[in-house]
Chain A
Amino acid sequence: SAVISQKPSRDICQRGTSLTIQCQVDSQVTMMFWYRQQPGQSLTLIATANQGSEATYESGFVIDKFPISRPNLTFSTLTVSNMSPEDSSIYLCSVGKGIGGELFFGEGSRLTVL
Protein backbone atom coordinates (compact mmCIF):
# COMPACT_ATOMS: atom_id res chain seq x y z
CA SER A 1 0.00 0.00 0.00
CA ALA A 2 0.96 3.65 -0.05
CA VAL A 3 0.00 6.58 2.13
CA ILE A 4 -0.11 9.90 0.32
CA SER A 5 -0.10 13.31 1.95
CA GLN A 6 -1.16 16.32 -0.06
CA LYS A 7 -0.73 19.94 0.92
CA PRO A 8 -2.62 22.20 0.98
CA SER A 9 -5.92 20.38 1.48
CA ARG A 10 -7.75 23.48 0.28
CA ASP A 11 -7.00 27.04 -0.67
CA ILE A 12 -8.68 30.14 -2.01
CA CYS A 13 -6.58 32.09 -4.46
CA GLN A 14 -6.78 35.26 -6.44
CA ARG A 15 -6.92 35.32 -10.20
CA GLY A 16 -3.48 35.61 -11.80
CA THR A 17 -1.54 34.05 -8.95
CA SER A 18 0.11 30.63 -8.78
CA LEU A 19 -0.21 27.82 -6.26
CA THR A 20 2.04 24.84 -5.67
CA ILE A 21 0.58 21.58 -4.41
CA GLN A 22 2.85 19.10 -2.71
CA CYS A 23 2.53 15.32 -2.73
CA GLN A 24 4.52 13.18 -0.31
CA VAL A 25 4.43 9.38 -0.38
CA ASP A 26 5.48 7.16 2.50
CA SER A 27 7.44 4.80 0.23
CA GLN A 28 9.34 4.89 -3.04
CA VAL A 29 7.11 4.59 -6.08
CA THR A 30 7.90 4.46 -9.75
CA MET A 31 4.76 6.08 -11.10
CA MET A 32 3.16 9.30 -9.88
CA PHE A 33 0.24 10.97 -11.54
CA TRP A 34 -1.62 14.24 -11.19
CA TYR A 35 -5.36 14.30 -11.82
CA ARG A 36 -7.97 17.03 -11.82
CA GLN A 37 -11.52 16.40 -10.67
CA GLN A 38 -14.51 18.69 -10.65
CA PRO A 39 -16.74 17.88 -7.66
CA GLY A 40 -19.02 14.98 -8.52
CA GLN A 41 -17.32 14.36 -11.84
CA SER A 42 -14.69 12.10 -13.30
CA LEU A 43 -10.93 12.31 -13.04
CA THR A 44 -8.89 13.83 -15.83
CA LEU A 45 -5.21 12.99 -16.03
CA ILE A 46 -3.03 16.08 -16.20
CA ALA A 47 0.39 14.45 -16.39
CA THR A 48 2.66 11.65 -15.32
CA ALA A 49 5.44 12.88 -13.05
CA ASN A 50 8.74 11.29 -14.05
CA GLN A 51 11.60 11.13 -11.60
CA GLY A 52 14.65 12.95 -12.94
CA SER A 53 13.05 14.05 -16.20
CA GLU A 54 10.29 16.23 -17.56
CA ALA A 55 6.71 15.24 -16.87
CA THR A 56 4.59 13.68 -19.58
CA TYR A 57 1.53 15.83 -20.21
CA GLU A 58 -1.83 14.76 -21.54
CA SER A 59 -3.55 16.49 -24.40
CA GLY A 60 -4.88 19.85 -23.32
CA PHE A 61 -2.35 20.36 -20.52
CA VAL A 62 0.93 22.20 -20.95
CA ILE A 63 4.04 22.62 -18.87
CA ASP A 64 3.82 26.40 -18.74
CA LYS A 65 0.43 26.20 -17.05
CA PHE A 66 1.04 23.12 -14.90
CA PRO A 67 4.75 22.77 -14.17
CA ILE A 68 5.56 19.58 -12.30
CA SER A 69 8.63 18.61 -10.36
CA ARG A 70 9.67 15.21 -9.13
CA PRO A 71 13.05 15.37 -7.44
CA ASN A 72 12.92 11.86 -5.99
CA LEU A 73 10.80 8.71 -5.77
CA THR A 74 8.65 9.91 -2.86
CA PHE A 75 7.84 13.54 -3.64
CA SER A 76 6.29 15.64 -6.38
CA THR A 77 4.81 19.09 -6.79
CA LEU A 78 2.23 20.47 -9.19
CA THR A 79 2.01 24.21 -9.74
CA VAL A 80 -1.10 25.81 -11.16
CA SER A 81 0.13 28.99 -12.79
CA ASN A 82 -1.60 32.25 -13.63
CA MET A 83 -4.85 30.93 -12.21
CA SER A 84 -8.31 31.76 -13.48
CA PRO A 85 -11.71 30.73 -12.08
CA GLU A 86 -11.73 27.85 -14.60
CA ASP A 87 -8.87 26.30 -12.63
CA SER A 88 -11.11 25.87 -9.60
CA SER A 89 -11.12 22.14 -9.03
CA ILE A 90 -9.82 19.30 -6.90
CA TYR A 91 -6.29 18.25 -7.74
CA LEU A 92 -5.37 14.68 -6.87
CA CYS A 93 -1.99 13.07 -6.53
CA SER A 94 -1.93 9.37 -7.31
CA VAL A 95 0.76 6.70 -7.28
CA GLY A 96 1.01 3.28 -8.82
CA LYS A 97 3.18 0.43 -7.66
CA GLY A 98 4.12 -1.76 -10.55
CA ILE A 99 2.41 -2.48 -13.83
CA GLY A 100 -1.22 -3.42 -13.35
CA GLY A 101 -1.32 -2.50 -9.71
CA GLU A 102 -3.98 -0.35 -8.17
CA LEU A 103 -3.63 3.38 -7.85
CA PHE A 104 -3.43 5.01 -4.45
CA PHE A 105 -4.78 8.49 -4.01
CA GLY A 106 -4.20 11.43 -1.76
CA GLU A 107 -7.15 13.25 -0.23
CA GLY A 108 -6.85 15.95 -2.83
CA SER A 109 -6.34 19.69 -2.84
CA ARG A 110 -9.48 21.73 -3.34
CA LEU A 111 -8.61 24.93 -5.13
CA THR A 112 -10.98 27.88 -5.48
CA VAL A 113 -9.94 30.79 -7.68
CA LEU A 114 -11.76 34.09 -7.25
Chain B
Amino acid sequence: AQTVTQSQPEMSVQEAETVTLSCTYDTSESDYYLFWYKQPPSRQMILVIRQEAYKQQNATENRFSVNFQKAAKSFSLKISDSQLGDAAMYFCAYRSTNAGKSTFGDGTTLTVKP
Protein backbone atom coordinates (compact mmCIF):
# COMPACT_ATOMS: atom_id res chain seq x y z
CA ALA B 1 0.00 0.00 0.00
CA GLN B 2 1.11 3.52 -0.69
CA THR B 3 1.77 6.01 2.07
CA VAL B 4 2.16 9.77 1.95
CA THR B 5 3.95 11.71 4.68
CA GLN B 6 3.84 15.43 5.33
CA SER B 7 6.23 16.17 8.16
CA GLN B 8 5.18 19.78 8.72
CA PRO B 9 1.82 20.06 10.48
CA GLU B 10 2.03 23.86 10.40
CA MET B 11 4.01 26.42 8.44
CA SER B 12 3.92 30.18 8.31
CA VAL B 13 5.22 32.66 5.80
CA GLN B 14 5.37 36.40 5.47
CA GLU B 15 3.31 37.88 2.68
CA ALA B 16 5.35 38.15 -0.56
CA GLU B 17 7.91 35.64 0.71
CA THR B 18 8.53 32.08 -0.45
CA VAL B 19 7.65 28.91 1.44
CA THR B 20 8.26 25.23 0.73
CA LEU B 21 6.00 22.45 1.93
CA SER B 22 7.47 18.96 2.17
CA CYS B 23 6.02 15.65 1.11
CA THR B 24 7.47 12.16 0.86
CA TYR B 25 5.75 9.02 -0.29
CA ASP B 26 6.33 5.33 -0.46
CA THR B 27 5.31 3.09 -3.35
CA SER B 28 6.47 0.09 -5.31
CA GLU B 29 4.80 1.33 -8.48
CA SER B 30 6.75 2.97 -11.28
CA ASP B 31 3.87 4.86 -12.84
CA TYR B 32 1.70 7.15 -10.74
CA TYR B 33 0.59 10.72 -10.25
CA LEU B 34 1.23 13.21 -7.50
CA PHE B 35 -0.86 16.18 -6.51
CA TRP B 36 -0.99 19.11 -4.17
CA TYR B 37 -4.46 20.14 -3.09
CA LYS B 38 -5.51 23.23 -1.19
CA GLN B 39 -8.36 23.27 1.30
CA PRO B 40 -9.28 26.77 2.44
CA PRO B 41 -11.28 27.25 5.62
CA SER B 42 -14.50 27.04 3.56
CA ARG B 43 -13.61 23.38 3.17
CA GLN B 44 -13.86 22.64 -0.56
CA MET B 45 -10.69 21.03 -1.81
CA ILE B 46 -9.15 22.30 -5.05
CA LEU B 47 -6.16 21.27 -7.11
CA VAL B 48 -2.99 23.32 -6.88
CA ILE B 49 -0.62 21.36 -9.07
CA ARG B 50 -0.17 17.91 -10.64
CA GLN B 51 2.91 15.88 -11.56
CA GLU B 52 3.17 12.75 -13.66
CA ALA B 53 5.82 10.37 -12.31
CA TYR B 54 7.17 9.56 -15.77
CA LYS B 55 7.97 13.21 -16.42
CA GLN B 56 11.32 14.45 -15.15
CA GLN B 57 10.42 18.08 -15.61
CA ASN B 58 8.98 19.71 -12.52
CA ALA B 59 5.44 21.03 -12.85
CA THR B 60 4.81 24.75 -12.53
CA GLU B 61 1.57 26.71 -12.19
CA ASN B 62 2.14 30.43 -11.88
CA ARG B 63 3.47 31.03 -8.34
CA PHE B 64 3.36 27.33 -7.50
CA SER B 65 6.07 24.87 -8.44
CA VAL B 66 7.19 21.45 -7.31
CA ASN B 67 10.52 19.77 -6.73
CA PHE B 68 9.93 16.18 -7.76
CA GLN B 69 12.69 13.74 -6.84
CA LYS B 70 11.50 10.32 -7.98
CA ALA B 71 14.43 8.32 -6.65
CA ALA B 72 14.11 9.94 -3.25
CA LYS B 73 10.29 9.74 -3.40
CA SER B 74 10.04 13.37 -2.53
CA PHE B 75 7.51 15.91 -3.83
CA SER B 76 7.75 19.36 -2.29
CA LEU B 77 5.63 22.40 -3.12
CA LYS B 78 7.12 25.87 -3.40
CA ILE B 79 4.86 28.89 -3.16
CA SER B 80 6.47 32.09 -4.34
CA ASP B 81 5.28 35.63 -3.61
CA SER B 82 2.88 34.30 -0.96
CA GLN B 83 -0.50 35.98 -0.74
CA LEU B 84 -3.04 36.15 2.05
CA GLY B 85 -5.35 33.99 -0.04
CA ASP B 86 -2.80 31.18 0.04
CA ALA B 87 -3.64 30.53 3.69
CA ALA B 88 -5.17 27.07 3.80
CA MET B 89 -4.49 23.46 4.56
CA TYR B 90 -2.38 21.81 1.86
CA PHE B 91 -2.55 18.11 1.14
CA CYS B 92 -0.07 16.07 -0.81
CA ALA B 93 -1.72 13.16 -2.60
CA TYR B 94 -0.66 10.07 -4.51
CA ARG B 95 -2.85 8.58 -7.17
CA SER B 96 -2.27 5.07 -8.39
CA THR B 97 -2.51 4.37 -12.10
CA ASN B 98 -3.74 0.85 -11.43
CA ALA B 99 -6.47 1.41 -8.87
CA GLY B 100 -7.32 5.01 -9.60
CA LYS B 101 -7.83 5.87 -5.94
CA SER B 102 -5.80 8.48 -4.08
CA THR B 103 -3.90 8.47 -0.80
CA PHE B 104 -3.55 11.74 1.09
CA GLY B 105 -0.95 13.01 3.54
CA ASP B 106 -1.94 14.45 6.90
CA GLY B 107 -1.83 17.99 5.59
CA THR B 108 0.11 21.16 6.34
CA THR B 109 -1.68 24.24 7.63
CA LEU B 110 -0.16 27.32 6.04
CA THR B 111 -0.54 30.70 7.68
CA VAL B 112 0.32 33.84 5.73
CA LYS B 113 1.28 36.85 7.82
CA PRO B 114 0.59 40.35 6.47
Contacts and interface: CB of A to CB of B under 8 A. Distances in A.
Contacts, number: 52
Main secondary structure of the interface of B (DSSP, over half): strand
B47 A102 contact: yes
A99 B32 CA distance: 9
A100 B52 contact: yes
Interface of A: 31, 33, 40-43, 45, 48, 90, 92, 94, 96, 99-100, 102-103, 105-108
Main secondary structure of the interface of A (DSSP, over half): strand
Given A90-B43, A92-B45, A108-B44, A100 B97 contact: yes
A41 B107 contact: yes
A92 B45 CA distance: 10
Contacts of A100: 33, 52, 95, 97
Nearest to B6: A42
Contacts of A92: 45
Contacts of B93: 103
